[in-house]
Structure 1
Amino acid sequence: MKKSKFNFIYLALIAVVFTSCESDLDITPNDPDTFLSEEFFSQPDAYKKGLAGVYGNLALTGTNGPESSNIGGIDAGTSQYGRCLWYLQNLSTDEAIWSYENDGGVRDLQRNIWNADNVIIRGMFSRGMFHVALCNEYLRQTTPEKLSARGVTNATLLSDIQDYRNEMKAMRALAYYHLMDMFGKAAFNTEDQAVAIAGVQYNRQQLFQFIETDLTALIPLLKAPRSNESGRLDQAFARMILAKMYLNAEVYVGQNRYQDCMTQCEAIIAGGYVLEPNYLDNFRADNNTSTEMIFAIQSDGLVTQNFGPTTVMVNGSVGSLETNGISLGVNAGGWGGAIRLRKQFVEKFNGSDFDFDARKTLSGGGLRTLDILDINNRNQGFILAKFSNVSSNGLPGSNPTFVDTDFPLFRLADAYLMYAEAQMRKDGATNGSSVTNLTSQSLGYINALRERANDGNFANVTSNQVTLDFILDERSRELHWEAHRRQDLIRFGKYSGGNYIWAWKGNAPAGIAISANRNVYPIPQLALVANPNLTQNTGY
């Protein structure tokens, strides 16, 4: 299947010029004079190719196939941006469990007992900082002074380059947003600093302010919603980052920004994105055509082979008993039961309201037990079929291992649910309260998602049924495995501590409380060695 979208081939120059080793996690160019060099910019379409290379960092890990990585001393898959994001936001929660605990970093992550040497945590921090470095270098190489010196005078090209620069600033904001959310701090650099200078440490307050200021200024300069080339970002992308920051602002910076979240969500909803009629079409091999996909990490089984989140999730969803890979568009045995569901997530779909819910793609029963008492026993725990490598027309993807399915970072459905939650919190609802103060607008957004999932309104809810805890469960039902769950649980006070327990939380089969310091991940030990400006998070 050939996917018609922004074709980012991960440029060889990135791996050649951007190098890293185990002692350098700031990820800076080895030789700034050769990265995006004058020779490179003498090529046709060089500026767009450079843009494509930066987008490619979200999906690919190197230039020599799926086994290569430009993050030194680490498995390629463990350094892939989307996969690390999925591991940290979902595998450490109640939504999934990974069978093969001999894989580096997995055991400690999914049992909530990680430390600063965890390779997956290191992979996320490294890839995030690498993304910042790529964006900064592209901006350095496309200043008016650089363009003038190269004799770039074509008005159309100059206008395009300005668009590319705006997108690179928004891309940088994405990386800093993820680092702020997961680590609470990061080494800070912009294009105004020299490439070889170790970044100063920015805490959450500083990162929040920088991202907010940058994106607010960028929004009117970015392409209007749904007007940019498929696979590239637009104004809604920037607004989604801001909306999520504002929704979590009490966690990040101790501020109530719920009205600001609602304002951003309103603009997103009015921007032309509409719900895809079939829920599961958002997670198929041709989901790049989804009408509600605001931004996704691209995947193509032929062009962008990588062990990213969708390849992992589709192959990993093949059950050890079911060998259901063909129906998911991969090899029959897939990865033999690599990923299963924790009991508490499965129970989110209990009750007759969900008998016909398209979001309920669970399989279990019989020999497949609900409880996972032994993580190594791949027959324990239900399995999921949300993501597949089959198109909406029933055609298999282009490759039976590396899927064509894009990973959705931002969907319109999330804006609907963020608006409803922010409205309730703005109007006084608090965690654990049974107060129902939902407006008709918020109720309409929630029921639009339930009607879409049930092909009708028979599973709709009334305003007096909707508490914040209901919203949290509904977010899991709608957005599971889309890298939101850890953030949501923290916002609701249910990640650390004992207010909510799930299987294997805290390294106990039935789950136990974990300490509050685990609301952020540690700064990797090697990053502390490489950059003396960084300090470790409390408790690590």
Structure 2
Amino acid sequence: MRHIISKSVVAGLLVIGMTSCANDLNISSIDPQTSTSYEDMELLAKVYGTLGMTGQKGPAGSGDISSDEGESGFYRTTFNLETLPTDECNWAWQTDPDIPQITGIRWNANSGRTQWAYQRLGFNVLLCNFYLQNTLDKAEQADYKYYRAEVRFLRALYYWYFLDLWHKAPFKDENNSMNDLPVEKVGKDLYDWLDTELTAIESEMAPMGQFNSTSDFGRADAGAAYMLHARLALNAKVYTDGAVTAYDKAISYCDKIIAGPYALSSTAKVHPTNGLTYSGYAQLFMADNDRNADAMKEIIFPIRQDGIKTQGYSCASYLVCSTRIAGMPYAATKNCWSCNYARPNLIEKFFPNDDVPMYTDDKDGSKLKAYKIEHNIVNDEGKPREFKEDELIVADKELGGSTTEILLAANDDRALFYAGAGGGARKLRTDKLNNFLDGISIVKWQNICVDGGTNSDAEFSDTDIPLFRLAEAYMTRAEAKWRSGDATGINDVNVLRARANATPLTQLTEQDLIDEWCREFYMEGRRRSDLIRFDMFTGKKYNWAWKGGVADGQAVDGHFKYYPIPMDDINNNKNMTQNAGY
């Protein structure tokens, strides 16, 4: 078989020791940089593996693309572009390359983080095309009909990200030779291709929900294709510059999904060791969400993660580690990066009056010192020492700001934040960005097993990423109905609010909708896309803290609606043109 060659991306095809997305894909792998022969099942494993891994070895070494491997994974690169510029979180490490530009919506055509995402998506498309080219002779075999349709779905997923982030893509499919330069497919043309491609593969994929099980969890079936198609249809007006609206189509696909084999994770469970109660919502983002039957029933398509076999810094470990600081309770990782924290606008979605419970102290920390002395949390010299975790948990009950207290005050199971004393006193608002304690901590992503099981590794996370889940079908149908003038959309929103034990809405306004998207899906890598659909990302319709690089937020120019095409691709591919404004 042919060896994959790319001028801009050099990588091995297969992942060493990867965790299978399904039992029948749990195969050994080879590196075609040293061996040019391989089995197509190994290549299929690599195609799936690139969703959650970054190279041959993991967590670093022999990366797929020539950049910082920890930064180059599919989920981390796309998450950052969809989340870091928005009202959800800030990145404390403002000295990192391109971070001030990304977090302040001030990037330019030389943005390195834009290029990392562009390269990763391009590499993953290349693998999909290569697989499809080299299994054409098996296309009529029963299993390969599924395999090939799954790979076509993954390719459509990557092209959707191109459309959403850049409004265009360097396009090739399996009918192109390796030497053909990609052609530019823009806006409506790319939307139409995706619409046609997803329609074509839906009947070729395994029936909806067939892989929603322990043995096959992680493979894409028709439910995943339906959800991607519904997402595409909801955004049709944006993607086609107003030429197409497809709300009826979005509703139709959501109807199929909601009537299908899935169910919202709604049953609260008590952890057998720490005694905490975790809501059905919280369990979706915990380390055993791949064996928790309730969580699995909601997760339509996950990115599989394992703390031993898929070690890396670009997927679940990124979400867990980046939102912790040493000293926080229930961290469940020894690697606390202390970088991603909540912007005040995210907290306002749950506490519009700024009455979020928080631990506060004087500048010299006298309140905490007095507490420690009173409770004999001192060293041999009688001076205050660092908390042990059990001591901190007790202190948070008195000093304030525990996650349990915040959840009760919010009256919403989705308010998964921490503002206690662990790691230091936090702020709700700040006049600077470079300190993790400048905002409240987000603890939505957990490396804890609700069943009390032990994590695979003390540093890397076992938590699967729910890339598509049933709640999106409810929110998509609600918005599509609202935009079509159908007042019953509020019922779908209230289904999710009921699951969260939140008060039902009595009316559904534009602000209610965009806020509910945030409450349900914050830190899941989609906020920018939602804000653009509501015409709130650029311009002055909605400002948030540090939008445009200033503390109170300011309008930014409309060209920031899409990212710039990396200059390397402009220079190396005569078919690609730069987006307006760059």
TM-score bin (small chain): 0.7 to 0.9
- Aligned pair 1:529/2:516, yes or no? no
Q: Which residue, out of 286, 289, 312, partners 1:287?
A: 289
Q: Distance in 1 between matches of 2:321 and 2:441?
A: 12
Aligned partners of 1:372 and 1:503 also within 8 Å: no
Equivalent residue for 2:498? Answer: 451
Equivalent residue for 1:387? Answer: 445
Equivalent residue for 1:460? Answer: 504
Q: Distance in 2 between matches of 1:534 and 1:334?
A: 41
Aligned partners of 1:354 and 1:459 also within 8 Å: no
Equivalent residue for 1:304? Answer: 310
Q: Which residue, out of 252, 257, 260, partners 2:246?
A: 257
Aligned partners of 1:183 and 1:523 also within 8 Å: yes
- Deviation string 1:481-500 (CA, Å, 9 cap, x unpaired) is 11110000000010001111
TM-score (norm 2): 0.79
The Cα shift of 1:460 comes to 1.6
Aligned pair count reads: 484
Q: Distance in 2 between matches of 1:172 and 1:354?
A: 43
SS in 2 for 1:287: coil
The Cα shift of 1:312 comes to 1.3
Q: Which amino acid aligns with 1:481?
A: M
The 1:15–1:396 alpha-carbon spacing in structure 2 relative to 1, beyond 3 Å, is farther
Q: Distance in 2 between matches of 1:259 and 1:420?
A: 12
Q: Distance in 1 between matches of 2:499 and 2:19?
A: 26
Q: Which residue, out of 223, 228, 242, partners 2:206?
A: 223
Equivalent residue for 1:438? Answer: 487
Q: Distance in 2 between matches of 1:469 and 1:236?
A: 29
The Cα shift of 1:468 comes to 2.1
Equivalent residue for 1:329? Answer: 332
Q: Which amino acid aligns with 2:87?
A: D
Q: Which amino acid aligns with 1:237?
A: A
Aligned partners of 1:11 and 1:63 also within 8 Å: no
Structure 1 residues 480-489 or 445-454, which shifts more?
445-454
SS in 2 for 1:443: helix
- Aligned pair 1:203/2:186, yes or no? yes
The Cα shift of 1:72 comes to 4.2
- Aligned pair 1:236/2:217, yes or no? no
Q: Which amino acid aligns with 2:493?
A: I
The Cα shift of 1:15 comes to 6.8
Q: Distance in 1 between matches of 2:410 and 2:102?
A: 33
The Cα shift of 1:396 comes to 4.0
Q: Which amino acid aligns with 2:192?
A: Q
Q: Distance in 2 between matches of 1:15 and 1:250?
A: 43
Equivalent residue for 1:29? Answer: none
Identity %: 34
The 1:227–1:424 alpha-carbon spacing in structure 2 relative to 1, beyond 3 Å, is same
Equivalent residue for 1:357? Answer: 412
- Deviation string 1:434-468 (CA, Å, 9 cap, x unpaired) is xxx521xx3332222111112xxx61222xx2112
Give structure 1 stretches of 5+ with no counterpart: 18-33, 41-45, 149-154, 428-436
The Cα shift of 1:260 comes to 0.8
Q: Which amino acid aligns with 1:251?
A: V
Aligned partners of 1:61 and 1:68 also within 8 Å: no
Q: Which amino acid aligns with 1:63?
A: Q
Aligned partners of 1:78 and 1:119 also within 8 Å: no
- Deviation string 1:490-533 (CA, Å, 9 cap, x unpaired) is 00010001111111111112111111101100001111122111
The 1:13–1:120 alpha-carbon spacing in structure 2 relative to 1, beyond 3 Å, is farther
- Deviation string 1:366-416 (CA, Å, 9 cap, x unpaired) is 831101321112221111110100112133421121100111211100110
Q: Which residue, out of 175, 182, 185, partners 2:168?
A: 185
The Cα shift of 1:11 comes to 7.5
Q: Distance in 1 between matches of 2:547 and 2:100?
A: 12
Q: Distance in 1 between matches of 2:561 and 2:27?
A: 34
Equivalent residue for 1:122? Answer: 115
- Aligned pair 1:273/2:268, yes or no? no
The 1:241–1:354 alpha-carbon spacing in structure 2 relative to 1, beyond 3 Å, is farther
- Deviation string 1:165-222 (CA, Å, 9 cap, x unpaired) is 1111111100100001101111111111101211111101111111111110111111
The 1:298–1:270 alpha-carbon spacing in structure 2 relative to 1, beyond 3 Å, is same
Q: Distance in 1 between matches of 2:49 and 2:173?
A: 20
SS in 1 for 2:500: helix
The Cα shift of 1:9 comes to 7.3
Q: Which amino acid aligns with 1:345?
A: L
Q: Distance in 2 between matches of 1:476 and 1:52?
A: 33
Equivalent residue for 2:342? Answer: 341
Q: Distance in 2 between matches of 1:201 and 1:15?
A: 30
Q: Distance in 1 between matches of 2:499 and 2:555?
A: 36
Aligned partners of 2:28 and 2:42 also within 8 Å: yes
Structure 1 residues 105-114 or 482-491, which shifts more?
105-114
Q: Distance in 2 between matches of 1:168 and 1:482?
A: 23
The structure carrying a bigger helix percent of its residues is 1
SS in 2 for 1:419: helix
TM-score (norm 1): 0.85
The 1:15–1:250 alpha-carbon spacing in structure 2 relative to 1, beyond 3 Å, is farther
Equivalent residue for 1:520? Answer: 562
- Aligned pair 1:68/2:126, yes or no? no
Q: Distance in 1 between matches of 2:445 and 2:27?
A: 25
Q: Which amino acid aligns with 1:250?
A: K
The Cα shift of 1:470 comes to 0.2
Give structure 2 stretches of 5+ with no counterpart: 1-17, 267-279, 356-407
The Cα shift of 1:5 comes to 5.2
The 1:524–1:3 alpha-carbon spacing in structure 2 relative to 1, beyond 3 Å, is closer
SS in 2 for 1:523: coil
Equivalent residue for 2:142? Answer: 159
SS in 1 for 2:467: strand
Runs of 4+ aligned structure 1 residues displaced above 6 Å come to 7-11
SS in 2 for 1:495: coil
Q: Distance in 2 between matches of 1:50 and 1:86?
A: 25
- Aligned pair 1:213/2:196, yes or no? yes
The 1:117–1:71 alpha-carbon spacing in structure 2 relative to 1, beyond 3 Å, is farther
Aligned partners of 2:65 and 2:119 also within 8 Å: no
- Deviation string 1:23-74 (CA, Å, 9 cap, x unpaired) is xxxxxxxxxxx7xx5x32xxxxx33322111011111111122123544441
Equivalent residue for 2:159? Answer: 176
Q: Distance in 1 between matches of 2:305 and 2:284?
A: 14
The Cα shift of 1:102 comes to 2.4
SS in 2 for 1:221: coil
Q: Which amino acid aligns with 1:6?
A: A
Q: Which amino acid aligns with 1:419?
A: R
Q: Which amino acid aligns with 2:263?
A: V
Q: Distance in 1 between matches of 2:453 and 2:491?
A: 34
Larger Cα-atom Rg: 2
Aligned partners of 1:79 and 1:123 also within 8 Å: yes
Equivalent residue for 2:527? Answer: 485
